[in-house]
């Protein structure tokens, strides 16, 4: 069969639908809050539209750049070095609520360096593992060298602290190593080594311990620690099958915290109901299928790892966000890709999709 001369149109169309869905949803979720804060319902939507436009420009540009250009030692080492420096430098930036996650540029915009960690980690692992497919039993020469830079980035993200993003990075790293042929015993060893760290983060950090307790019994403190979860569940349950209608949600009226970011899926459920939620999930399923298809059909190991890593990162993040909204996992503060308000997240995700779409040009 001849190679493609164009990108995967189904994947491209799915991305455009997700971006459009996100813009409409951000406006619906933020209009009342923005009106109260800024005197206009449009600021959040306009900022999101700006970053969507910039992200789509990056997508189109990267879609036309041969992905093999990234398969270069200087590019990979440079990207890893810059990302680690940014993750260190962010601690010198002014913090917010005892966290150091953003560089703030006045009141106009922010930049979150941890958003770069996942794609850079994927790039590094794809470059490193492509030539080690038959050396995955070499613990010192392959496994330790493969996990060293990702673990350093994960440690810095945990220090911010941002446990949710760190877990996404860790999940993507394990999936990529398993795809490369790493045996399950190493995954078990890594999991056991992570237990003390995760246990400390969850049960010995007071505010996280409170979050774990309220996850198990949110009604024990309905107006305090359990408020987020309960209001999210009320929004999800109120929507029913068909929802209250776009712009007609009630929980975003200063009941549901962060309705345009962390809990935007709850707003979708309330306004568009089960039908709208399933429709949104279907778009992510379509993206997962086309992305994994590209990985499966790629004959170039570097392309296969890149496609798999990009796709799995988006799906893992979407799973965590939706699970938080319906109280399947504790609150983590992870955005919903393409949908949640956030310029850095949207821009980086669309840029990654540009790379993935370029890879689809090369499959049969």
What is the CB neighbour count within 10 angstroms for residue 131? 11
End-to-end Cα distance, the chain: 6
Q: What would the pLDDT profile of 13-29 be if each residue is shown by its tens digit?
A: 999 999 999 999 999 99
Q: What would the pLDDT profile of 276-287 be if each residue is shown by its tens digit?
A: 999 999 999 999
pLDDT at residue 2 tops 50:
no
Structural domain boundaries of the chain?
9-360
Of the given ranges (66-80, 126-140, 159-173, 200-214), which has the lowest mean pLDDT? 200-214
Residues 6+ apart with CB under 8 A from 27: 41, 42, 44, 45
Q: Residue 137 — φ and ψ, nearest 5°?
A: -90, -5
Question: What does pTM read for this prediction?
Answer: 0.93
Residues 6+ apart with CB under 8 A from 69: 75
Does 101 or 151 have the greater pLDDT score?
151
Task: Looking at mean pLDDT, say which of 100-109, 182-191, 309-318, 325-334 comes out highest.
Answer: 309-318
pLDDT at residue 1 tops 50:
no
pLDDT band at 255 (very low <50, low <70, confident <90, very high): confident
Measured distance CA(51)–CA(75) in Å, rounded: 25
pLDDT band at 107 (very low <50, low <70, confident <90, very high): low
CA angle 149, 76, 294 (to 5 degrees): 100
Residues 6+ apart with CB under 8 A from 59: 15, 350, 351, 353, 354, 357
pLDDT at residue 272 tops 60:
yes
pLDDT band at 362 (very low <50, low <70, confident <90, very high): confident
Q: What would the pLDDT profile of 295-311 be if each residue is shown by its tens digit?
A: 999 999 999 999 999 99
What value does the mean pLDDT of the chain take?
Answer: 91
Query: What is the model's pLDDT at position 43?
Result: 93
Q: What would the pLDDT profile of 38-88 be if each residue is shown by its tens digit?
A: 999 999 999 999 999 999 999 999 999 999 999 999 999 999 999 999 999
């Amino acid at each position: 069969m001849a190679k493609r001369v164009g990108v995967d149109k189904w994947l491209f169309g799915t991305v455009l639908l997700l971006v459009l869905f996100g813009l409409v949803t951000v406006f619906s979720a933020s209009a009342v809050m923005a009106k109260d804060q800024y005197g206009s319902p449009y600021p959040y939507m306009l900022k999101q539209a700006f970053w969507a436009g910039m992200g789509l420009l990056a997508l189109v540009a990267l879609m036309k750049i041969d992905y093999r250009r990234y398969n270069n030692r200087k590019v990979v080492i440079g990207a890893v070095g810059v990302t680690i420096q940014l993750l260190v430098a962010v601690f010198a930036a002014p913090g917010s609520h005892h966290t150091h996650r953003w560089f703030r540029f006045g009141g106009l915009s922010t930049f979150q360096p941890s958003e770069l960690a996942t794609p850079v980690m994927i790039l590094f692992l794809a470059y490193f593992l492509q030539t080690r497919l038959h050396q995955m039993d070499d613990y010192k020469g392959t496994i330790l060298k493969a996990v060293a830079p990702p673990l350093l980035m994960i440690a810095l993200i945990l220090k911010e602290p941002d446990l949710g993003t760190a877990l996404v990075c860790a999940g993507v790293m394990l999936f990529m190593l398993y795809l490369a042929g790493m045996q399950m015993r190493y995954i078990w060893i890594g999991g056991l080594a992570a237990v003390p760290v995760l246990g400390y983060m969850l049960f010995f950090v007071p505010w996280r311990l409170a979050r774990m307790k309220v996850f198990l019994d949110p009604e024990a403190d309905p107006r305090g620690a359990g408020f987020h979860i309960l209001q999210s569940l009320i929004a999800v349950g109120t929507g029913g099958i068909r929802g209250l209608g776009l712009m007609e949600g009630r929980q975003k009226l200063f009941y549901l915290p962060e309705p345009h970011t962390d809990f935007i899926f709850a707003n979708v459920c309330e306004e568009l109901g089960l039908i709208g939620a399933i429709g949104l999930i279907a778009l992510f399923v379509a993206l997962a299928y086309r992305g994994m298809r590209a990985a499966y059909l790629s004959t170039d190991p570097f392309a296969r790892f890149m496609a798999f890593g990009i796709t799995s990162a988006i799906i893992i993040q979407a799973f965590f966000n939706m699970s938080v909204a319906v109280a399947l996992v504790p609150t983590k503060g992870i955005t919903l890709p393409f949908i949640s308000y956030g310029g850095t997240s949207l821009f980086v995700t669309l840029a990654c999709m540009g790379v993935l779409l370029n890879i689809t040009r090369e499959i049969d």
